[in-house]
Amino acid sequence: MQPSRAAPKEAARPIYLDNAATTCTDGRVASLIHEMLCEEYGNPSSLHNMGLRAERRVAAARRQVASLAGCREEEVYFTSGATEANNLALIGAARAKARRGRRIVTSQIEHASVLSALDSLAADGFDIVKIPPRSDGTVDPEAFAEAVDEGTVLASCMLVNNETGALCDVADIAGRCKAKNPQLLFHCDGVQALGKVPFSFKKLPVDLMSFSGHKLFAPKGIGALVVKKGARLLPLLYGGKQQGGLRPGTENTAYIAGMGLACELARQEFSARLAQMERLHDHLLKKIAETPQLCSNSPLKCAPNIVNLSVPGIRSETMLHFLEGRGIYVSSASACTKGAKSHVLAAMGLPDRLVDSALRLSFSPDITEEDLDLTIAALCEGASSLARA
């Protein structure tokens, strides 16, 4: 007679380790959004008092985003999210610069919304050069700048990789590119960096930077693009004169206010959040090093909120669902890939056995070392029981 299998033991509370995919909306942000939807619901373009109040809320949010990102408030343009911000930056800049040249340089580890936008430009006749990463997932500034020539009109490199947490030296990369060709525009995907690592837009030699609200405890459906004064883009949408005509359409006032507050809270709580995530990051890497069934795919120098690991021999999706049965939530790659094999890990040259078994764990400040210990124990249990199965 076969022994009955014990039911999966769930954690006392859900352990959510997929914050790089999306975060829970902060209660303070949700309350403000509710107020905006139900009380301060005027159109910011209306000339009456309710419209003026809504316009002031948008202006306040623009200041809050600018304060966290280290840019001027007039450089902030609100979008529906980072995908739109990336598309507006890349396609808008390329079309505006098309008469000067057709070459664009990027890396192979960029987010799908960057790579897909550039693929669409390739179909329009642009020459897209994609630089492979080093084996640790970072981008070599010299190799990146080497691809820039006098016909290069645009370059793009992310600050923090969304799958491995690898930190790219954008200051060095962009500085080298600008030295070779001062006329090019440089775009940086800052989605996983905002509120997570220290940086200042005005101190970086970049022209465009994209952000997302729902990675920072604001809701999905709101983002921002920072455009340095003097950088010319062609709009993707056409309509009214909102946001200088670069991003027309009635502003999503409630979500804009919510993203503004989320940025203000991140600025106020930055030191405490960073310290907590650094503790979690160090604790997890130590546990991985002590666990033979696991190996880390993230570089030593990376953002404190993301760790990529593999459980060789167990496919990512299989382990993901095993952990889910224990109330632990992780991802196998970027959420936008819908479970497809990681192009980032493949570009790093990792063997298939590591790519096929990779998991991404990403923290929020309310995660504890105990949560990570429970996760490591569940990973070990899964490695043992799934291998036998």
Q: Which residues are the active-site residues? A: 336
Give how far Cα 263 sits from Cα of 86, 252, 253, 342, Å: 19, 16, 15, 30
DSSP states along 18-87: BTTT--PPPHHHHHHHHHHHHTS---TT-SSHHHHHHHHHHHHHHHHHHHHHTS-GGGEEEESSHHHHHH
**The residue to which tokens 């167990």 are assigned:** 314
Assign residue 376 a region (left: φ > 0; alpha: ψ between -120 and 50; beta: otherwise): alpha
What is the DSSP-derived secondary structure letter of residue 197? S
Strand-strand pairing, 15-16 and 328-329: parallel
Q: Is the torsion defined by CA of 229, 234, 237, 241 positive or negative?
A: positive
Amino acid 386 reads L
Contact between 8 and 323 (Cβ < 8 Å): no
d(CA 362, CA 377): 17
